[in-house]
C-alpha cells in the first residue's frame, strides 16, 4: 500500500517506521523541515534529538530509501496514495477543550492537495491517528467535502502506544481499532494492517468512527483513574496508618485477577503528553452534554496534587527547610526510556522547589537533559538559571542536601549505594517512585527517607 503519514512526532514517526517494516511504501511528511532533514539523514543522533524510542532508529536505518521516505512536499506524494494517517498534535486549550488549530491547518492543506490529485479513480482514506474529540472524523469529512475532494473515506484509527515501548507496541498492539463508514474504507485499512487482521492474540476491532474516537478517550481516562485510585487511596493508607506496608497491600489486592497490576505502583503522578489533556478534553466534551464529570475531575486533581505533595510532606513531616538548599532532581522525563518532557512530574517538582527558595537544583536524566534544558529556559523564567545539568546521578548528588527521585529509570534502584558513597547525613532522600528497595540500609546509616506510600523513615539516630 502507498501510505502518507502526516506529522512525524512520536506517533507519526513510529507508525511510519513500523508500516515501512511491513513492506508498505511509506511517505512521512512534516512541516518542520529540520525534523525531516534529521530523519532523512538516517543518523541515530539526529533522529533521537526529536524522538528517542528504543528500536526506532534501527528500523529507520533499515528501511530508509527502500520503503520509507521523508518529505516536506505533500503535493508530490499524493498521487496513487491509498491511505493518509493524520498524526498531528492536539494540545489542550485553557478550558480543557482540544485545540484543533494544528489539526485543522493540516487537514485543510491536505484537502486542497487531495482535491487536485489526478488519480481520482483510486479511493483514498484519511485516517485520524491523533486523539481527537468524538465527531472529528465527521468534521474531517466536511473539510474534504468543502474542498470537493472525490472518492474518499474518513476513518478513526486511534493510537494506543505508550512512549518508551512504542515500537514493540506498534509491532504487537493489544488491539487495532478502526472506525469507518464504508466497507471500501475498512478494506483499505485491512490491507494496511493485514498482519493484525485475524491475528490469534491481537484484537482487530471494526466499528463506527465515533465509537473508535470514544474508545481512545475512555481507555486513557480509565488508565489515569486507576493510577489516581492507587495514589489517592492506596498511597494515603500507607502514609497515614502505622505499620501498613504499601507493597504488600498492592500485592494482596492485585493478586485478584480482576484487578490490574499495571497502574497499582504508587507514584508522584503520571505525566506524559496524553493523560492530562485527554481527561480534560473528555470532561469538556461530557459537560457539553450536561453530564456530571465529578469522577473524572477527581482523577485529574489527584494526579496533579500527587506531583508536588511530597515536597509539602518533606516540610511538614520531615521538618526539612528547602530555603537556600541544593537539591538533586533525578529523572526529568515523564518516565524511563524516553526524552519526552511533556507534562513530566519533574516540571512541577522543580517549579515547587524553586518556589521554596532552593539555592540550586542539580538535575540528571539519562536521556532527557537536553530536552529539559529547552523546557527550563531561563529566558522564560529567571529562576531556571538555578538549574544545572549533570551527566550522572552521582555528579548531581554531590554537595546536595536532598534528592528527589521523579521517574522510574532502572538505574535509580542502586541509588542507596550512590548516596552513601557521595554525601553524608544529615541528608533527605525523597522517592517519588519507590525506586530504592534497600532504603533500610541508608536509614540505618543516618539518612532520612521519604517515599510515596509510606510514612517518613527517620534516620536511625533520630528514632
Ligand X SMILES: NC(=O)c1ccc[n+]([C@@H]2O[C@H](COP(=O)([O-])OP(=O)(O)OC[C@H]3O[C@@H](n4cnc5c(N)ncnc54)[C@H](O)[C@@H]3O)[C@@H](O)[C@H]2O)c1
Phi, then psi, of 416 in degrees rounded to 5? -60, -40
Q: Do residues 84 and 129 lie in contact, with contact meaning Cβ atoms separated by under 8 Å?
A: no
Nearer of residues 31 and 93 to ligand X, judged by Cβ:
31
> For binding to ligand X (CB under 6 A), which residues are involved?
6-12, 30-32, 35, 87-90, 102, 105-106, 129-131, 159, 161, 163, 273-274
- Residue 156 or 418 having the CB closest to ligand X: 156
State which residue, 345 or 416, has the beta carbon closest to ligand X.
Answer: 345
Using CB atoms within 10 Å of the CB of residue 353, give its burial: 0 to 12 exposed, 13 to 18 middle, 19+ buried.
Answer: buried
Site of grid cell 536521556: 367
Which residues 6+ apart lie within 8 Å of 312 measured at CB?
none
Our CB check for ligand X shows the closer of 158 and 448 to be: 158
Q: Give 6 or 279: the residue with its C-beta nearer to ligand X.
A: 6
Minimum CB separation of residue 6 from ligand X in Å reads: 6
Alpha-carbon gap, residue 459 to 17, rounded angstroms: 51
**CA–CA gap between residue 280 and residue 321 (Å, rounded):** 35
Residue corresponding to grid cell 485527554: 278
In whole angstroms, give the CA distance from residue 55 to residue 163: 12
State the minimum distance, in angstroms, from the CB of residue 281 to ligand X: 9
Closest approach, Cβ 461 to ligand X, in A, equals 45
Minimum CB distance to ligand X, residue 70 (Å): 11
Q: Which residues pair with 3 in a beta bridge?
A: 26, 83
Taking the complex as a whole, the smallest distance from the CB of residue 95 to ligand X amounts, in Å, to 17
Over the range 404-437, which residues count as b (16 or more CB within 10 Å of their CB) and which as e? Answer: bbbbbbeebeebbebbbebbebebbbbbbbbbbe
Taking the least distance from each CB to ligand X, the nearer of 8 and 406 is 8
Minimum distance from residue 215 beta carbon to ligand X (Å): 12
From start to end of 30-90, where are the E strands? 68-71, 83-86
Determine phi and psi for 68, rounding to 5 degrees: -120, 130
| Exposed/middle/buried for residue 394 (C-beta within 10 Å: 0-12, 13-18, 19+) | middle
CB of 36 to ligand X, least distance (A): 9
CB nearer ligand X, residue 27 or residue 320: 27
Phi, psi of 436, rounded to the nearest 5 degrees: -110, 95
163/239 with CB nearer ligand X: 163
Burial class (CB in 10 A: 0-12, 13-18, 19+), 285: buried
- Which of 158, 238 has the CB closer to ligand X? 158
- What the block records as the C-alpha cell of 185 is 474504507
For 305, residues 6+ apart whose C-beta sits below 8 A from its C-beta are: 269
* CB closer to ligand X, 200 vs 374: 374
- For the CB of residue 107, give the shortest distance to ligand X in the complex, in Å: 9
CB of 289 to ligand X, least distance (A): 21
* Minimum distance of ligand X from residue 280's CB (angstroms): 12
Number of residue whose CB is nearest ligand X: 9
Residues in a beta bridge with 300: none
Residues 442, 448, 453, 454, CA torsion sign: positive
Peptide bond into 182 cis (omega under 30): no
Nearer to ligand X, 211 or 254 (CB): 211
Residues 168, 55: contact at Cβ < 8 Å? yes
What span, in angstroms and rounded, lies between the C-alpha atoms of 105 and 86? 11
Query: Minimal distance in Å, beta carbon 91 to ligand X?
Result: 8
Residues 274, 162: Cα–Cα separation, whole Å: 10
Minimum distance of ligand X from residue 110's CB (angstroms): 8
Instruction: State the CB neighbour count (10 A cutoff) for residue 230.
Output: 25
Closer CB to ligand X, 226 or 390, in the complex: 226
Amino acid at each position: 500500500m502507498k501510505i502518507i503519514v502526516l506529522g512525524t512526532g512520536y506517533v507519526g514517526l513510529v507508525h511510519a517506521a513500523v508500516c515501512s517494516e511491513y513492506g508498505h511504501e511509506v511517505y512521512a511528511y512534516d512541516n518542520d523541515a529540520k525534523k525531516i532533514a534529521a530523519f532523512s539523514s538516517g543518523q541515530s543522533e539526529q533522529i533521537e534529538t526529536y524522538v528517542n524510542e528504543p528500536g526506532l532508529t534501527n528500523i529507520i536505518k533499515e528501511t530508509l530509501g527502500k520503503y520509507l521516505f521523508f518529505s516536506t512536499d505533500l503535493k508530490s506524494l499524493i498521487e496513487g496514495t491509498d491511505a493518509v494517517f493524520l498524526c498531528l498534535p492536539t494540545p489542550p486549550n485553557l478550558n480543557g477543550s482540544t485545540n484543533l488549530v494544528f489539526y485543522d491547518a493540516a487537514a485543510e492543506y491536505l484537502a486542497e492537495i487531495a482535491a487536485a490529485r489526478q488519480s481520482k479513480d483510486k479511493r483514498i482514506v484519511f485516517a485520524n491517528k491523533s486523539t481527537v474529540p468524538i465527531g472529528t472524523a465527521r468534521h474531517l469529512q466536511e473539510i474534504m467535502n468543502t474542498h470537493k475532494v472525490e472518492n474518499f473515506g474518513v476513518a478513526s484509527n486511534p493510537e494506543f502506544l505508550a512512549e518508551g515501548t512504542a515500537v514493540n507496541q506498534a509491532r504487537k498492539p493489544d488491539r487495532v481499532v478502526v472506525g469507518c463508514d464504508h466497507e471500501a474504507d475498512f478494506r483499505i485499512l485491512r490491507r494496511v494492517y493485514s498482519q493484525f487482521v485475524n491475528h490469534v492474540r491481537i484484537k482487530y476491532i471494526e466499528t463506527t468512527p465515533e465509537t473508535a474516537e470514544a474508545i481512545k478517550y475512555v481507555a486513557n481516562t480509565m488508565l489515569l483513574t486507576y493510577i489516581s485510585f492507587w495514589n489517592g487511596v492506596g498511597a494515603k493508607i500507607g502514609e497515614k496508618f502505622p505499620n501498613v506496608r504499601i507493597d504488600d497491600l498492592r500485592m494482596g489486592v492485585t493478586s485478584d485477577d480482576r484487578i490490574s497490576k499495571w497502574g497499582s505502583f504508587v507514584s508522584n503522578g503520571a505525566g506524559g503528553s496524553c493523560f492530562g489533556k485527554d481527561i480534560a478534553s473528555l470532561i469538556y466534551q461530557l459537560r457539553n452534554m450536561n453530564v456530571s464529570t465529578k469522577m473524572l475531575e477527581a482523577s485529574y486533581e489527584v494526579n496533579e496534587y500527587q506531583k508536588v505533595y511530597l515536597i509539602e510532606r518533606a516540610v511538614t513531616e520531615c521538618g526539612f527547610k528547602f530555603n537556600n538548599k541544593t537539591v538533586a532532581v533525578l529523572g526529568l522525563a515523564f518516565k524511563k526510556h524516553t526524552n519526552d518532557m511533556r507534562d513530566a512530574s519533574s516540571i512541577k517538582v522543580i517549579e515547587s522547589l524553586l518556589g521554596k527558595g532552593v539555592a540550586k537544583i542539580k538535575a540528571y536524566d539519562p536521556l532527557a537533559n537536553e530536552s529539559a534544558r529547552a523546557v527550563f529556559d531561563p529566558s522564560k523564567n529567571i529562576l531556571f538559571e538555578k538549574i544545572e545539568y549533570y551527566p550522572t546521578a552521582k555528579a548531581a548528588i554531590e554537595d546536595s542536601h536532598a534528592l528527589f527521585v521523579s521517574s522510574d529509570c532502572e538505574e535509580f534502584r542502586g541509588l542507596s549505594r550512590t548516596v552513601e558513597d557521595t554525601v553524608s547525613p544529615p541528608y533527605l532522600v525523597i522517592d517519588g517512585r519507590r525506586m530504592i528497595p534497600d532504603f533500610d540500609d541508608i536509614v540505618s546509616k543516618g539518612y532520612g527517607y521519604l517515599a510515596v506510600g509510606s510514612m517518613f523513615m527517620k534516620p536511625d539516630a533520630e528514632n
